Amino acid sequence: MQHLDVQVTEQALDWLREGETVWFCTVLSTFGSSPREPGSLFVARADGRHAGSLSGGCVEEDFLERLRAGAFNQTVEQIRYGSEDGFAGARVSLPCGGILNVLIERLKPEEHNLQHMETLRASLRGQQGGVRRVALDTGEKTFLDDDRPGPRVTEDNAQRCVFIRVGPAARLIIAGVSPVSVACAEFAKALGYEVILCDPREEAFADLHLDGVTLEPILPSLYIATPGHCHGATAIVALTHDPRIDDLAMIEAVVTPAFYIGVMGSRRTSKARAERLSRSGGLTEQQIARIQMPIGLALGSKTPAEIALAVMADILRVRRGREREAL
C-alpha cells in the first residue's frame, strides 16, 4: 500500500465523523498498463471533494461528474473504465490503454462504518494486518484476521464477494540529514512512501524545507528502536557517512522486520563497517547480511540525486521481489 492510501482512509474517517456520506473506492483489478495497482484507494463526497487517486486524472473527473449528477446510489457497485462494456456506461478511454475495475462503497456516517475505517487505518499504519471481505450484493463488510502473503485482491464469484488484502503502507526511515538523504526523501515521497527523516543535530534541520516529510529531531537508532515505528513495509537507509549515526542505526535496524536496510559507503568503507558492526556492535553474520552495503544499484552514480535514484531503485527492486541478476 502507499502512504496516499493512509491519507485517503483518514480523510474518509474525518468526513464520516462530520456526518458526511462518502463514496469509498478500491481498484479491484487492472488490465494492460494502469497508473495504480489493485487495492489502491480513493474517496469522495457528494459535493465533489475527494482524496486519493484511481488513475491520475481522467477516471476521477468522470467519476466525480457522475457523482455530482446523482449516480452511485447503491450500497455497493462496480464500474469498469477503459472498456466499451463498462458497468454503468463508463466509456472513458485511459490514455495508457489500460482497463480499470473499481469497487464503489457508499458509506453513511454510521458507527459500524466508522469502526471499519478505523480498523483499516490501523492496518495501513502497521498496527495489524488482515483482509477486508466485501459482499457484492449487500455491501456487508468484515475484517478477517489473516497476515499470510497473497494477492492484493481476490474475487469469489461463488460467494459474490471480494477479498482485499490490506497491510502497512510503504514507509522510509532515513537516518541522518545529508544532500543524498534530502534527494532520497523527495524521490520516496513521489513514489508514495511515508518518509521520516531523523537527525539529532539541531543545525541539521535549519533551512531544510521538505513538504510532506516528517522531520524527527532524534537519534535515528532511538526512533528505529521505538515499538511501532518499523513494520514489514518499512525501508531503513543511513546516508550520512557518519558512523556515529549510521552504525547505530544499522544495529537497531537489523532486529526490525524492515524489508530493506542499507547504508551508504564505498566497498572498502562497507567492509570496514561490517567488521566494526561485528566486533563492536555484536551483530551476527546473518544480521550483517541483511544490510545492503554498498547501498543502491550500481548505476555509476556521482551526484546526490544520482545516488538517491540508485538507492530508491534498489528499494523498489527488493519490494517487487526482483533479484539484481534479473535486471
Kind and range of the H or E run holding 153: strand 153-156
Are residues 187 and 157 part of one domain? no
Are residues 186 and 156 part of one domain? no
- What does DSSP say about strands 130-135 and 161-166: parallel, antiparallel, or unpaired? antiparallel
Q: What number is the average pLDDT over the span 191-202? A: 92
Residue 284, pLDDT score: 94
- Number of structural domains found in the chain: 2
- The C-alpha atoms of residue 176 and residue 197 are separated, in whole angstroms, by 7
Crossing angle, helix 111-124 and helix 3-17, to 10 degrees? 160
Of the candidates 104, 134, 166, which is a domain's last residue?
166
Are residues 198 and 161 part of one domain? no
Among 197, 191, 195, 193, which residue's Cα sits nearest to residue 179? 197
Are residues 206 and 151 part of one domain? no
- What Cα–Cα distance (Å) separates residue 170 from each residue in 84, 109, 180, 185? 35, 29, 20, 13
Predicted TM-score (pTM) of the model is 0.78
Are residues 180 and 110 part of one domain? no
Q: What are phi and psi of 20, to 5 degrees?
A: -95, 145
Of the candidates 113, 140, 166, which is a domain's last residue?
166
Q: What number is the average pLDDT over the span 102-114? A: 96
DSSP 161: E
Which residues form the domain of 31? Answer: 3-166
Q: If pLDDT is split at 50, 70 and 90, which confidence band does 41 have?
A: very high
Average pLDDT, the chain: 89
Question: In the predicted model, is pLDDT for residue 95 greater than 60?
Answer: no
Are residues 275 and 128 part of one domain? no
Which residues have CB under 8 Å from 149's CB, separation 6+? none
Residue 88, pLDDT score: 47
Are residues 242 and 135 part of one domain? no
Query: Which three cell numbers, joined as nine digits, stand for 171?
Result: 514507509
Asked if 63 contacts 50 with a C-beta cutoff of 8 angstroms, the reply is no
Q: What number is the average pLDDT over the span 268-288? A: 93
Of the candidates 128, 144, 166, which is a domain's last residue?
166
- The C-alpha atoms of residue 64 and residue 68 are separated, in whole angstroms, by 6
Are residues 50 and 143 part of one domain? yes
Q: What number is the average pLDDT over the span 201-219? A: 91
Q: If pLDDT is split at 50, 70 and 90, which confidence band does 89 have?
A: very low
Q: What share of the chain is helix, strand, coil (3-state, %, to 5)?
A: 35, 25, 40
Are residues 185 and 157 part of one domain? no
Question: In the predicted model, is pLDDT for residue 238 greater than 90?
Answer: yes
**Residues β-bridged to residue 144:** 131
Are residues 257 and 130 part of one domain? no
CATH of the domain at 197: 3.40.50.720
Give the tens place of pLDDT for each residue, 14-32: 999 999 999 999 999 887 6
Are residues 246 and 122 part of one domain? no
User: Between 54 and 256, whose confidence is greater?
Assistant: 256
Q: How many CA atoms lie within 13 A of 190 on its CB side?
A: 10
Residue 209, pLDDT score: 87
Asked if 23 contacts 104 with a C-beta cutoff of 8 angstroms, the reply is yes
Residue 94, pLDDT score: 58
Are residues 272 and 160 part of one domain? no
